[in-house]
Structure 1
Amino acid sequence: MIERARDIVTFDNVGLRYGTDREVLSDVSFTLHPGSFYFLTGASGAGKTSLLKLLYLAQRPSRGVIRLFGTDTVTLPRKRLPAFRRRLGVVFQDFRLVPHLSAYDNVALPLRVSGVREGDIAKPVNDMLEWVGLSHRREARPATLSGGERQRVAIARAVIGRPDMLLADEPTGNVDPEMALKLLRLFEALNRLGTTVVVATHDVHLLRKVSGSMIMRLDKGRLSDPTGALRYPPRRENAG
């Protein structure tokens, strides 16, 4: 049974290296609170994607402690990892759509894996495809979609199951500014329903779009704001 926790994620002095190379992440410590919205930013090569890999359990750290939903995932047996991953929604930079499935079936996949009845799948999937502007492409396979369309399918798939935490790696990198804002509003709506959202981006303009969001900055593998206390825009004090 997965333990319910006050903090959804805790990193304690985490380091990550690939093979014998130098660490790509060093002494990373932070806490993510349930229902909060975070931007993870930094220059290209700062370690954003590596940090996300640790968060969605695709990589184990070289050192330190990571707790997800109150459980130490560093020592967690591999057979227990799928139960944790089902509580996560992930938008990858390379999309990772199933090539032989239609856009509709790619979006429906998390619901089917979770055991949702087929009769209860059509409406949420069609609604989600309409939201991301792809109703007319529901039967298209990934190879026939543009990069921006594949990105939108990947995002729809990640959020369809209302995950406890959504992790998005440069989710607006392949869409125009109007669609980028629409997708960000989708993340906000999911966040208001209680999902913790982490968006990795190098686009500083996005940081101004979500009021009260928290900003974590990576610089050469280290968090420059490890407390996650930097908030944009700052909250205003009551005038009364």
Structure 2
Amino acid sequence: MTAEGEIIHFDNVGLRYGTEREVLSDLTFTLYAGRFYFLTGASGAGKTSLLKLLYLAQRPSRGAVRMFGNDAITLSRASLPALRRRIGVVFQDFRLVPHLSAFDNVALPLRVAGHGEKDIAGPVRDILEWVGLSERIDAVPATLSGGEQQRIAIARAVIGRPAVLVADEPTGNVDPEMALKLLRLFEMLNRQGTTVVVATHDLDLLRKVPDSLIMRLERGRLADPTGALRHSPARRT
């Protein structure tokens, strides 16, 4: 890392799709290890596009992005998978593998990372129990409700203890009680050192993590009047 605690830095980043106008403009901010961030903004503000840049599904049209000390713009395709494995993602549309059971969907990141089967079963069962799905361990996604699929997606994203967790509306398909439980799971992971970025339109969630930082997008630009995203302490205590 090039600065103490810095894990991701955007410098004057812009993003456009094709010849359309920029959907993100002039983004400059730093994310620090062990901090909890909420990403908010009206529909169409660019939240999902920013998340795509954060989990390396999209490269910016201009500007510089540094991740874990690497220049993410010029990084070779061969180097991308190792970098992406340090980032857990909870997609808004879940993206579960339809023919795999709940257990195998959650185990997938560990298997891709090369963990042996004897090291997989315990952690996968533990995380499924934590999200309340230990009794659905053999169920395939088509037999699960939307809320259950969301919990499987979250379990899959956090099973590998990523350095960064990026979540797009992770509580949008669960009831308030489960939403709070999932938020506490993110907080627990955060206390263990994972940087968490949660995109949400639910403003009530923001008050449930008092020491979180808020990134607010307005028409593709980041509203940061206090400069907190540039001068945040290195990590939570």
TM-score normalised according to structure 1 size: 0.92
Amino acid at match of 2:96: L
* Partner residue, 1:119: 118
Match status 1:104 vs 2:103:
yes
Give unpaired runs (5+ residues) of structure 2. 230-237
After superposition, the Cα gap between the structure-2 partners of 1:181 and 1:34, relative to the gap in structure 1 and judged at 3 Å, is same
* Partner residue, 2:186: 187
* Partner residue, 2:42: 43
* Partner residue, 1:14: 13
* Partner residue, 1:234: none
Hey, what's the Cα distance between the residues in 2 that align with 1:59 and 1:15?
A: 12
After superposition, the Cα gap between the structure-2 partners of 1:226 and 1:25, relative to the gap in structure 1 and judged at 3 Å, is farther
Runs of at least 4 residues of structure 1 off by over 4 A?
2-5
After superposition, the Cα gap between the structure-2 partners of 1:198 and 1:227, relative to the gap in structure 1 and judged at 3 Å, is farther
Match status 1:229 vs 2:228:
yes
* Partner residue, 1:135: 134
Residue 3 of structure 1 deviates from its aligned partner by 8.6
Secondary structure at the aligned position of 1:15 is classed as strand
Alignment of 1:42-191 (within 5 A): 42-191=41-190
Identical amino acids, percent of aligned pairs = 77
Q: Describe the superposition over 1:80-104 as per-residue Cα deviations: whole angstroms up to 9, x where unpaired.
A: 1001001010000011111110000
* Partner residue, 2:216: 217
Give unpaired runs (5+ residues) of structure 1. 231-240
Hey, what's the Cα distance between the residues in 2 that align with 1:219 and 1:226?
A: 12
Secondary structure at the aligned position of 2:89 is classed as strand
After superposition, the Cα gap between the structure-2 partners of 1:68 and 1:27, relative to the gap in structure 1 and judged at 3 Å, is same
After superposition, the Cα gap between the structure-2 partners of 1:32 and 1:3, relative to the gap in structure 1 and judged at 3 Å, is closer
Instruction: Tell which has more relative contact order, 1 or 2 (C-alpha 8 A, sep 6+).
Output: 2
* Partner residue, 1:233: none
Hey, what's the Cα distance between the residues in 2 that align with 1:66 and 1:201?
A: 23
After superposition, the Cα gap between the structure-2 partners of 1:50 and 1:217, relative to the gap in structure 1 and judged at 3 Å, is same
Q: Describe the superposition over 1:191-213 as per-residue Cα deviations: whole angstroms up to 9, x where unpaired.
A: 00000000000110000011200
After superposition, the Cα gap between the structure-2 partners of 1:112 and 1:31, relative to the gap in structure 1 and judged at 3 Å, is same
Hey, what's the Cα distance between the residues in 2 that align with 1:97 and 1:12?
A: 33
Hey, what's the Cα distance between the residues in 1 that align with 2:208 and 2:50?
A: 23
TM-score normalised according to structure 2 size: 0.94
Hey, what's the Cα distance between the residues in 1 that align with 2:2 and 2:38?
A: 26
Number of residue-to-residue matches in the alignment: 229
Residue 6 of structure 1 deviates from its aligned partner by 3.2
Hey, what's the Cα distance between the residues in 1 that align with 2:4 and 2:99?
A: 38
CA RMSD in angstroms comes to: 1.5
1:31 and 1:228 in contact (8 A); partners too:
no
Hey, what's the Cα distance between the residues in 2 that align with 1:132 and 1:74?
A: 36
Secondary structure at the aligned position of 2:79 is classed as helix
Amino acid at match of 2:72: T
Hey, what's the Cα distance between the residues in 2 that align with 1:161 and 1:149?
A: 20
